[in-house]
């Protein structure tokens, strides 16, 4: 250290000892000390000296109640002293930036950064002086400090000092001086990172707001939201070069503040979104990815807060912000919305809200204009559409009229989705409508006074038209399944003609659209299963449909498939809980036909490979025999069962039969079952008695 500095520090130490001795008023001594420091023009030396001065004199500052207080000395002196010297130090600090040749800017900034706390310490000291009450802070301290901050016109100093002010003084002071503090913001250099400063201020204030219930009225009284909102608008206007991401981050901070401090004020939330729309509208479509991220944060915040999309749906500016997103981000946001609904199990219960919701997620519902279709990832697409499908189940109202409106609204939107989306979105819509049908089927009579009440008939008509759209996709297998679901529901509503129409359409699809043999097998079993459960058909309609079903079963491509479908048809003629449908003879005809097909399959296999065919088919048919035998179908006799068992036994022992462990096991357990029934005795035991295994 230079001789000069050593001397200066010695003088300062002397001064501080002098104050302690109370021989002269502290004020006078401090004054002299500061005067002495003023003589030092070298910035860094000056800074150090002043910092040292602040340190040694801190506990000697005249403060209210301090032991150095004299009549003549007021808190004002102390404040004045610190403020003065804050000003001087700041000037020196700023001057450093322009000092010395040949120094690179970054290096200087680095040095300055290291020294900044020497300047900031003054503000800290001010905040520690007990006598600095709100009144004094408001009237004197803050305006003077801000004046210095604004006038120094130094980017680094302005950013650092604003932040310092916010951090060192108490929250209630900020709240009560918001206008003054915020008023300085638009006057700062355009390059100052004001958004960080403001967001820290809002962070502090919102922490303060939630710290106790008592302070909220204070926020309302000083109109904190309006002031912050206003200041942010001014800053954005003043800093014309601020990138859009900066402006949006400011709105994100303001929104965070609003959601924390005034969660009940949706109008405030909407106002922030509206301001953001205004900013976004001034520029072409958002392309900056960081700005996009901020917009997503902005839109996600209300969802996270309210955990309830229904609230967000009431914000008129919400969809307008979304419109400014690029298509990809729009989709991401739509997914966030759906996830929020799923997470909270939120029920969207009016057609009006459904309309708004679908407008919000339209990026998932249809191809947006000009969207790049080709680069669509298959997996992502599926996930998106599955989400939409899940969403459809969350749209629900107990009131059937409103529910029908919801269904019509959803239908209107998903119909615009095009062939790739329909197979995902039509089924949930159909099941949602069928749920309504089930609900109406238990209500009796028409709803009085309604012009056009929701009736099952009307809904079936709508369903008919909806499922039809799958044919153009084409997705005939899906359409067939859905027609059958509708037929069953129509059955439960006692609407025979409707059920018959749906069946007719299912058969038409089967004949004309389903060509793949595996798909045919699945389809025919679905048809048989559904038809078996339907009770509404009169004899004639039923005959027509069962006739078709057995006919198509016998015409399947592969023998084993034929055989299984034909024996399944036996159930169409014998329905346990329907007295009208117990035609033992036709059951037997089906089973015999199945046996002939199994036989033919066996022979074909022998010719082709010199080995056995599927013996297991015989075992399966045997099980059908046993079923109807037990159900009391007199056409199925013990002797017929006996001969079938013998046939299978000889087939299995035949030399050409290759070992099929599964068939063997199946047969063995079937035989065990028969023995078990015999041993158990009773009526069933007697019935089984003549059969030997």
Residue numbers at the binding site for ligand NAG (CB under 6 A):
31, 34, 38, 80-81, 84-85, 88, 306-308, 344-346, 460-461, 464, 468, 498, 501-502
Q: Least distance from C-beta 486 to ligand NAG, angstroms?
A: 7
Instruction: Name residue, tokens 């699945």.
Output: 522
Q: Which is nearer to ligand NAG, 95 or 582 (CB)?
A: 95
Closest CA to 314 of 325, 302, 296, 324: 302
Q: Which is nearer to ligand NAG, 26 or 498 (CB)?
A: 498
322 touches 299 (CB < 8 A): yes
Cα angle: 325, vertex 327, 333; to 5 degrees: 65
Alpha helix ranges (H) inside 555-689: 559-569, 584-609, 616-631, 638-653, 661-680, 682-688
Q: Which is nearer to ligand NAG, 498 or 587 (CB)?
A: 498
Q: Look at residue 598 and give its three-state secondary structure.
A: helix
Q: Which is nearer to ligand NAG, 89 or 617 (CB)?
A: 89
658 touches 636 (CB < 8 A): no
Cα angle: 681, vertex 685, 688; to 5 degrees: 155
Q: Which is nearer to ligand NAG, 312 or 325 (CB)?
A: 312
Q: Which is nearer to ligand NAG, 203 or 501 (CB)?
A: 501
Q: Which is nearer to ligand NAG, 511 or 686 (CB)?
A: 511
Report the alpha-carbon distance of residue 564 to residue 566 in Å, rounded: 5
Q: Which is nearer to ligand NAG, 81 or 573 (CB)?
A: 81
Q: Which is nearer to ligand NAG, 32 or 660 (CB)?
A: 32
Q: Least distance from C-beta 487 to ligand NAG, angstroms?
A: 8
Report residue 154 as tokens: 């130094």
Q: Least distance from C-beta 641 to ligand NAG, angstroms?
A: 43
DSSP letters for 130-192:
TT--HHHIIIIIHHHHHHHHHHH--HHHHHHHHHHHHHHS-HHHHHHTHHHHHHHGGGS-TTS
Q: Which is nearer to ligand NAG, 249 or 505 (CB)?
A: 505
Q: Which is nearer to ligand NAG, 346 or 623 (CB)?
A: 346
Report residue 501 as tokens: 């129409």
Q: Least distance from C-beta 37 to ligand NAG, angstroms?
A: 6
Q: Which is nearer to ligand NAG, 304 or 689 (CB)?
A: 304
489 touches 434 (CB < 8 A): yes
Alpha helix ranges (H) inside 442-583: 456-468, 476-492, 496-512, 517-533, 539-554, 559-569
Q: Look at residue 107 and give its three-state secondary structure.
A: helix
Percentage helix, strand, coil for the chain under 3-state DSSP, each rounded to 5:
75, 0, 25
Cβ neighbours, 10 Å, residue 36: 15
What values do phi and psi take at 249, rounded to 5? -60, -35
Q: Least distance from C-beta 74 to ligand NAG, angstroms?
A: 11
Q: Which is nearer to ligand NAG, 38 or 393 (CB)?
A: 38
595 touches 622 (CB < 8 A): no
441 touches 457 (CB < 8 A): no
Q: Half-sphere exposure of residue 49, counting CA atoms within 13 Å on the CB side?
A: 27
What values do phi and psi take at 384, rounded to 5? -60, -50
Q: Least distance from C-beta 35 to ligand NAG, angstroms?
A: 6
Q: Look at residue 645 and give its three-state secondary structure.
A: helix
Q: Least distance from C-beta 288 to ligand NAG, angstroms?
A: 33
What values do phi and psi take at 574, rounded to 5? -145, 95
Q: Which is nearer to ligand NAG, 178 or 422 (CB)?
A: 422
Residue 438, C-beta contacts closer than 8 angstroms, at least 6 positions apart: 489, 492
Residue 105, C-beta contacts closer than 8 angstroms, at least 6 positions apart: none
Q: Least distance from C-beta 108 to ligand NAG, angstroms?
A: 24
Q: Least distance from C-beta 72 to ligand NAG, angstroms?
A: 13
Q: Least distance from C-beta 266 to ligand NAG, angstroms?
A: 13
Measure CA of the first residue to CA of the last residue in the chain; give whole Å: 114
Q: Least distance from C-beta 472 to ligand NAG, angstroms?
A: 12
Closest CA to 322 of 336, 312, 334, 313: 334
Q: Least distance from C-beta 147 to ligand NAG, angstroms?
A: 14
Q: Least distance from C-beta 497 to ligand NAG, angstroms?
A: 8
Residue 612, C-beta contacts closer than 8 angstroms, at least 6 positions apart: 602, 605, 606, 651, 654, 656, 657, 658, 660
Q: Which is nearer to ligand NAG, 197 or 462 (CB)?
A: 462
Q: Which is nearer to ligand NAG, 68 or 306 (CB)?
A: 306
Report the alpha-carbon distance of residue 336 to residue 11 in Å, rounded: 67
Report the alpha-carbon distance of residue 336 to residue 44 in Å, rounded: 54
């Amino acid at each position: 250290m230079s001789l000069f500095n050593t001397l200066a520090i010695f003088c300062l130490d002397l001064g501080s000892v002098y104050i302690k001795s109370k021989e002269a008023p502290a004020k006078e001594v401090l004054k002299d000390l500061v005067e002495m420091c003023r003589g030092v023009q070298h910035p860094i030396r000056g800074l150090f000296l002043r910092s040292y001065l602040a340190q040694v004199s801190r506990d000697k500052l005249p403060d209210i109640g301090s032991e150095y207080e004299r009549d003549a000395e007021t808190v004002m002196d102390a404040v004045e002293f610190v403020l003065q010297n804050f000003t001087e130090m700041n000037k020196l600090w700023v001057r450093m930036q322009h000092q010395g040749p040949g120094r690179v800017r970054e290096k200087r900034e680095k040095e300055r950064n290291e020294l900044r706390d020497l300047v900031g310490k003054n503000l800290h000291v001010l905040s520690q002086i007990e006598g600095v009450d709100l009144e004094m802070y408001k009237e004197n301290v803050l305006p003077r400090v801000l004046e210095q901050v604004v006038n120094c016109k130094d980017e680094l100093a302005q950013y650092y000092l604003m932040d310092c002010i916010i951090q060192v003084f108490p929250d209630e002071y900020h709240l009560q001086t918001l206008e003054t503090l915020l008023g300085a913001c638009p006057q700062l250099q355009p390059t100052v990172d004001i958004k960080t400063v403001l967001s820290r201020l809002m962070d502090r204030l919102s922490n303060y707001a939630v710290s106790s219930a008592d302070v909220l009225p204070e926020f309302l009284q000083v109109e904190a939201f309006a002031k912050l909102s206003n200041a942010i608008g001014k800053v954005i206007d003043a800093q014309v070069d601020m990138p859009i991401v900066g402006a949006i981050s400011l709105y994100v901070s303001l929104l965070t503040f609003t959601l924390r401090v005034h969660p009940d004020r949706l109008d405030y939330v909407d106002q922030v979104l509206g301001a953001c729309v205004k900013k976004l509208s001034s520029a072409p479509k958002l392309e900056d990815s960081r700005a996009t991220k901020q917009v997503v944060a902005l839109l996600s915040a209300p969802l996270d807060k309210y955990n309830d999309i229904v609230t967000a749906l009431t914000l008129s500016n919400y969809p307008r912000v979304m419109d400014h997103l690029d298509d990809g981000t729009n989709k991401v946001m739509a997914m966030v919305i759906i996830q929020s609904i799923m997470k909270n199990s939120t029920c969207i219960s009016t057609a009006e809200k459904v309309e708004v919701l679908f407008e919000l997620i339209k990026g998932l519902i249809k191809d947006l204009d000009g969207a790049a279709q080709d680069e669509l990832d298959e997996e992502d697409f599926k996930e998106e559409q599955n989400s939409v499908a899940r969403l459809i189940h969350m749209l629900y109202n107990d009131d059937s009229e409103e529910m029908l409106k919801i269904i019509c609204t959803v239908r209107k939107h998903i119909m615009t989705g095009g062939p790739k989306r329909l197979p995902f979105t039509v089924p949930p819509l159909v099941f949602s409508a069928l749920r309504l049908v089930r609900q109406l089927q238990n209500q009796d009579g028409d709803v009085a006074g309604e012009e056009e009440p929701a009736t099952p008939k009307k809904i079936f008509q709508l369903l008919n038209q909806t499922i039809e759209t799958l044919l153009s996709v084409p997705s005939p297998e899906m359409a067939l399944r859905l027609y059958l679901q509708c037929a069953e529901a129509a059955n439960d509503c006692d609407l025979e003609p409707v059920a018959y129409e749906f069946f007719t359409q299912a058969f038409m699809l089967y004949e004309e659209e389903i060509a793949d043999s595996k798909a045919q097998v699945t389809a025919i079993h679905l048809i048989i299963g559904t038809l078996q459960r339907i009770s509404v058909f009169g004899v004639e309609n039923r005959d027509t449909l069962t006739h078709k079903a057995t006919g198509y079963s016998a015409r399947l491509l592969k023998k084993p498939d034929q055989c299984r479908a034909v024996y399944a048809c036996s159930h169409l003629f014998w329905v346990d809980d329907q007295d009208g449908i117990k035609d033992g003879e036709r059951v037997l005809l089906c089973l015999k036909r199945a046996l002939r097909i199994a036989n033919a399959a066996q022979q074909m296999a022998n010719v082709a490979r010199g080995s056995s065919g599927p013996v297991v088919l015989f075992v399966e048919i045997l099980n059908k025999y046993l079923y109807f035998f037990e159900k009391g179908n007199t056409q199925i006799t013990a002797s017929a069962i006996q001969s079938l068992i013998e046939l299978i036994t000889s087939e299995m022992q035949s030399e050409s039969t290759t070992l099929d462990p599964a068939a063997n096991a199946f047969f063995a357990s079937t035989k065990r079952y028969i023995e078990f029934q015999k041993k158990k005795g009773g009526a069933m035991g007697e019935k089984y008695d003549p059969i030997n295994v």
